[in-house]
Structure 1
Amino acid sequence: MEGKTRKGSLGSDEIIAKARREQQKREKEYRERALKLFPWICARCGREFKGKRLRELTVHHKDHDHDNNPPDGSNWELLCIYCHDNEHSRNLVAEWTSGPKPGGEKEPPSTYKPFAGLKDLLKNEK
């Protein structure tokens, strides 16, 4: 009976497929609204999109909450796929570079002092 599920229960593949369908439906709804509200121009680089290239224009959620879709579109901006990827990459880089270092302590400053004995050497020359 491997591979079979009880009647009425969903397998993991079916659950994933259902979740993806719902996400695509939700994205389609707010994308269509955003395309009606805003000019078809990337808010970052200013490229204009028409015809087949319109698919390269994406809806970016300013607060990164994909369930926050106000009717006035105040949480959205249209970005080309390149600027959208860059926007999300910036957040990842900021997460990686900020915060405490492993071990929870700051790195000590360098203990090497190249001119430590220079003053004494100069005094001895006179």
Structure 2
Amino acid sequence: MAIRRRGGLNHSKLDQVVANARRDKEEREKGYRERALKMYPWVCGRCTREFNQQSLHELTVHHRNHNHDDNPLDGSNWELLCLYCHDDEHSRYNNAGLYGDDRPGNGTGTTHKAFAGLEALLKKA
């Protein structure tokens, strides 16, 4: 896209566009995604799919505690996940909030024991 004025290019306007683009790039690189991509290998932390420069847009930064404002410099709240695993993680998180967490060991599983008392019945027989 050339920026023109009558009689030719408007070089000062073009220089400003380029300067703004460079500044925006530097700001993005300070962001957590760019820091995470520099810190970690380009591999999904769940499915272990590897990424290259062409497919890197499919690799996302997941906040382990689901707080996007928690971005420690050491990256301890981040993990790189592909789009599919990231979507699955957030779906699980949302479902746990809606329906409760039913993973073993959290105390919210079923309490009915289908075979309770079976041993006593077998001893009587």
TM-score range, shorter chain: 0.5 to 0.7
Q: 2:51 aligns with which of 49, 52, 60?
A: 49
Q: State the match for 1:88 in structure 2.
A: 90
The correspondence for 1:74, drawn from 73, 76, 86, is 76
Aligned residue for 1:63? 65
Q: Normalising by structure 2, what TM-score? A: 0.55
| Distance in 1 (alpha carbons) for counterparts of 2:83 and 2:30 | 16
Instruction: Report the CA distance shift for 1:97/1:27 in structure 2 as closer, same or farther (over 3 A).
Output: farther
Q: Which runs of 5+ in 1 are unaligned?
A: 1-24, 100-126
1:40 aligns with 2:42: yes
Cα distance in structure 2, aligned partners of 1:28 and 1:49: 21
Please report how far the alpha carbon of residue 26 of structure 1 lies from its aligned counterpart in structure 2 after TM superposition.
6.9
Q: Is the 8 A contact 2:28 2:34 kept in 1?
A: no
| Paired letter, 1:97 | Y
Report the 3-state secondary structure (helix = DSSP H, G, I; strand = E; otherwise coil) of the residue aligned with 1:60: strand
Q: Normalized against structure 1, the TM-score is what?
A: 0.55
Q: CA 1:73 to 1:51, structure 2 compared with 1: closer, same or farther past 3 Å? A: same
Q: Which consecutive residues of structure 2, in runs of 5 or more, have no partner in the other structure?
A: 1-26, 102-125
**Which structure has more RCO (C-alpha within 8 Å, separation ≥ 6)?**
1
Give runs of ≥4 in structure 1 deviating > 6 Å.
25-28
SS in 1 for 2:79: strand
Q: Which residue of 2 aligns with 1:4?
A: none
The residue matched to 1:52 in structure 2 has which SS? coil
**Which string of whole-angstrom CA distances, capped at 9 and with x for unpartnered residues, describes residues 55-74 of structure 1?**
10000000111111111100
Pairs aligned (count)? 75
The structure that has the greater radius of gyration is: 1
In the alignment, the residues of structure 2 paired with residue 85 and residue 28 of structure 1 have an alpha-carbon distance, to the nearest angstrom, of 25
